[in-house]
Structure 1
Amino acid sequence: MPGAGRDQDHQAGGRDGGGSGAVPTGAGTPAATPAAPSPETVIDPVDDVDGAHGVPEKGRKLTSAGALIGVLLALFGFTLVVQLRSNDADSGLASARQEDLVRILSDLEARDQRLQQEISGLEQSQRQLTSGVAGRQAALADADKRADDLGLLSGTLPARGPGLVIVIDPRGQQIKASQILNAVQELRGAGAEVMELVGDNGGAVRIVASSYFVDAEDGGIIVDNKQLSGPYRLMVIGVPATMQTALQIPGGVVASVSQAGGNVTMEQRTTVEVTAVRQPASLQYARPVS
């Protein structure tokens, strides 16, 4: 069929070139081949990989920097928390009301006043204890001194000190007890503090306020129930010159003994020992008045 052949030719011609301008496949210029990569974009797997662990060097640097940044951030966060807590503690008073601040100040003042009172009380107690100890020590020292003085006066303690050694020698004459008593009284008046009378027979008597003197039948004397024979020796503690002057006054002890045929000698000494003592008397009725 001639018509059909023209239609086919017409269609074929239309597809191949006519009006569409399309290039048939397999005809004309050959197809373009893919372009080769440039040398700048080539990745060498050997040069970019860490030989030890197979980790890229660039990635390893990023990991170390990230760890350092993390540590810095942790430190920054810790510092921030501490600062916030400090600010919260300090801002407690700053945000308080005036009434609360006044109350807090009043409490602090009251506490300070109580502490000052406690300090004052402790200081006063310390002063009392110190003065009490000093007072007790002074009282004990005074009591010891008074006990010593009383022991010397009562004859219960031995004594030593400056004084006189007086020897009254009858020279075959009788020395009466009254003459020895006059000598003791003159010495007391001249300030004698401690006296002891020693007989030639070795007897010794401590002279005290209650001592008495009696003539013995055989020519001696009896002092406090102890018989003594002459010559008599008086050991006296006091001011030597004063006591010697008192015995040497006209009509005194020295003159009286001399008129009776006896003799009196006196020797001043820097130390006189009085060793005779008396047993303390036990009082039955007398009591001190408090």
Structure 2
Amino acid sequence: MSTAPPDGAAATPRVRANPWRRLVRAARPRATRAQVLAGLLCAALGFGVVVQVRQTDTAGLEDLRENELVRILDDTTERSDRLGEEVRQLQAARDELTAGSDSAEAAARAARSRADSYGLLAGTLPARGPGITATVTDPAGAVSAAQLLQTVQELRDAGAEALQIGATRVVASTAFLDAAAAADGGVVVDGRLEQPPYVVRAVGDPPTMATALDIPGGVRETLRQLGAQLAVTTSQDVAITALHAVSAPQYARPASPAPEQAPPQ
């Protein structure tokens, strides 16, 4: 049964809604109070992280005094000059090897020099030259292997070419372990027990190495916090007499040179 509109009244046409418009309206994100709060917290967290990173990057230098900044700058300049000198020496050796007539003799000299350098790095040759002697006194027995390793790393970064702790030669493979069983404390360096006072000898540029040990927050400050003292003396004649015993490889053998191939005909 249908109800007809009253006489004189116009029928109102029904408008069909656009299905795409309804779909877009349903998929439109609606911001709730929880979502707004989460967004604000994320923004605040990101801002805090950025501020902390910037403060971390600059706090290391902003808190230093003027003389400390000058010392760090001098150390950096000396390292740059030393690397530049090494570059010039390598370039001169290259030019000498490629000169022509005396190339064989130059190659022999370069090989001997390289063998001496490798012997010093491997600790199989004694060393002598300008350097420093660092003595660590440890009355409380609080100095551990970590502090001696830090001292060695600082000296290597400062250009130390040969190192010796007590009667032990320090090379790239030297291991540092705490001697827990020793009554008077000590550190085991490459299997040898070294006890305080620790005497570290290093051959290299004396001012650069001495400065490296005095950098704020470095070796001297770390030792002072442990109740130990560091005394550094520079000299133009420091002798490194301890040698590192090189063990024979168990599996490796020198490879025979590959046969030369005949040029194609």
**TM-score of the superposed pair, with normalisation by structure 1:** 0.50
Identity of aligned residues (%): 40
Q: Distance in 2 between matches of 1:137 and 1:173?
A: 55
In 2, the alpha carbon distance for the partners of 1:244 and 1:286 equals 42
2:246 and 2:215 map into 1 onto residues whose CA distance is 36
Q: 1:200-219 maps to which residues of 2 (within 5 A)?
A: 204-217=167-180, 218=182, 219=185
Count of residues paired in the alignment: 154
Question: How far does the alpha carbon of each residue in 1:134-180 deviate from its partner, in whole angstroms, 9 at most, with x for none?
Answer: 33222211111111000000000000011100000002332111000
Q: Distance in 1 between matches of 2:219 and 2:123?
A: 24
2:226 counterpart residue number? 260
User: Cα deviation per residue 1:66-114 (whole Å; 9 max; x = unaligned)?
Assistant: xxxxxxxxxxxxxxxxxxxxxxxxxxxxxxxxxxxxxxxxxxxxxxxxx
Match status 1:153 vs 2:153 = no
* Aligned with 1:285 (options 237, 252, 262): 252
- Aligned 8 A contact 2:141 2:186 in 1: no
For the structure 1 residues 147 and 261, does the alpha-carbon distance in structure 2 shift closer, same or farther, using more than 3 Å as the test?
same
Q: Paired residue for 1:221, among 187, 195, 198? A: 187
Deviation at 1:287, TM superposition (A): 5.6
Residue 244 (structure 1) shift = 1.0
The letter for the 1-side match of 2:252 is: Y
Q: Distance in 2 between matches of 1:282 and 1:149?
A: 20
Aligned to 1:251: 217
In the alignment, what sits opposite 2:81?
Answer: none
Post-superposition Cα deviations, 1:172-209, rounded to whole Å, max 9, x if no partner, equal: 332111000000001111111100000xxxxx110000
Report the residue type matching 1:154 in the other structure. Answer: A
Structure 2 match to 1:139: 107
**Deviation (angstroms), 1:281:** 3.3
**1:163 pairs with one of 120, 131, 139:** 131
TM-score by length of 2: 0.55
Q: How many angstroms does 1:286 deviate by?
A: 7.0
1:135–1:183 distance in 2 versus 1, CA, 3 Å: same
Name the residue aligned to 1:59: none
Q: How large is the Cα RMSD of the aligned pairs?
A: 1.9
In the alignment, structure 2 segments of 5+ residues that lack a partner are: 1-99, 259-265
Distance in 1 between residues matched to 2:138 and 2:230, nearest whole Å: 9
Aligned with 1:206: secondary structure? Answer: strand
The equivalent position to 1:233 in structure 2, one of 199, 220, 231, is 199
Matches within 5 A, 1:10-49: none
SS at match of 1:160: strand
User: Could you say which residue in structure 2 is the equivalent of 1:194?
Assistant: 162
Q: Deviations over 1:216-261 (max 9, x none)?
A: 0221110101111110000101111111111111111000111100
- SS of the residue aligned with 2:239? strand
Higher relative contact order (CA 8 A, sep 6+): 2
Cα shift readout 1:45-84 (whole Å, capped 9, x = no counterpart): xxxxxxxxxxxxxxxxxxxxxxxxxxxxxxxxxxxxxxxx
